[in-house]
Amino acid sequence: MDGILPLWKERGMTSHDCVFKLRKILQTKKVGHGGTLDPDVDGVLPICIGKGTKVIEYLQDSGKIYEGEITLGFSTTTEDRSGDVVETKMVDSPLSEDEVDQMMATFIGKIKQVPPMYSAVKVNGKRLYEYARAGETVERPEREALIESFKRTTELIYDEENKTQSWRFQVTCGKGTYVRTLAVDLGGKLGYPAHMSDLTRLASGGFSVGQAVTLAQVSELMEKDQIDQALQPIEEAMKDFPRIDLTDVDWQKVKNGQVLPMKDFGLKKMPADLIAFFYQNQLVSLYGQHPEKNWLLKPSKVIRNEV
């Protein structure tokens, strides 16, 4: 069984929980996920199976779309609703929609983020959440994130009793973006402690809500021997990469891992970091530029050596 399964991860489960359960359901050990989702977050989690595990890193590098809710008035240890409250400032005078929209627009483009303490980023060989659970703090490296779109999708809701203000949003972002931190940083610019009070991932790795299936649906499809209905081809993960279709002669060279001149494929320079080689409509190998001889292509990852 080879391919990619767009899973709808339900809340209360870690991404690893999903992989563990799917290994049993699908009766195969070669299962991995293409991008972590926090336990409190539901949404699209691409699962790579069999030879599909060879393209995990490229799914993780792809853009994502989320929808969620930001709440002003207090911040938490985890930057979402599951954490302990660390700072409070009542919203005595509700903000206007124009104020919020204008500030959200300032986040579009390349931004800097400091990863939350409750995250899997490693500092000095240890994950940040390990420091956080031990009650330790550590200097966190600033990272760059790309925000393609960040917009409010509902009216602002003011809670008169608790003196908080919330609204729902949708964000399209690049790899490594912390949406929790986006909510906190937006609140800071608006003058209030804030947290991400709800989050759902609508798309990841080129797969969207409409393609996703739950664990229960996967079990049902396996029982009926219809899992192919949900399984997407490996090729889907590389659809945005430059593609070259190989001749029979070229295929013999590629399957043996040979270094190849760019000119053999009409290339004067690399069109991107990697080129996807296809043979008989199947993804067989990924080639990149040779590190020393820039007129040559060098195999980066072999996906199939037989078709």
| Alpha-carbon dihedral 32, 38, 41, 46, rounded to 10 degrees | -20
Smallest CA-to-CA distance from 204 within 186, 177, 228, 224 is with 177
Radius of gyration, CA atoms only, the chain = 22
Distance, in Å, from the CA atom of 217 to the CA atom of 230, rounded to the nearest integer, reads 9
Contact at 8 Å (CB) between 284 and 303?
Answer: yes
Given the residues 38, 42, 80, 185, select the one marked as catalytic: 38
Paired tokens of 25: 């359901």
Give, rounded to a whole angstrom, the gap between the first and last alpha carbons of the chain. Answer: 15
Paired tokens of 276: 């996807």
Catalytic residue flag (residue 228): no
Smallest CA-to-CA distance from 68 within 154, 162, 187 is with 154
Q: Return all residues near 105 (Cβ < 8 A) that are at least 6 apart.
A: 150
Distance, in Å, from the CA atom of 73 to the CA atom of 89, rounded to the nearest integer, reads 5
Chain position carrying tokens 């490296």: 141
3-state secondary structure string, 66-113? EEEEEEECEEECCCECCCCEEEECCCCCCCCHHHHHHHHHCCCEEEEE
- H or E stretch at 215: helix 215-223
Residue 46's alpha-carbon distances to 19, 60, 238, 258, in angstroms, are: 10, 9, 13, 31
Smallest CA-to-CA distance from 179 within 198, 166, 156 is with 198
Question: Which sequence positions are flagged as catalytic?
Answer: 38
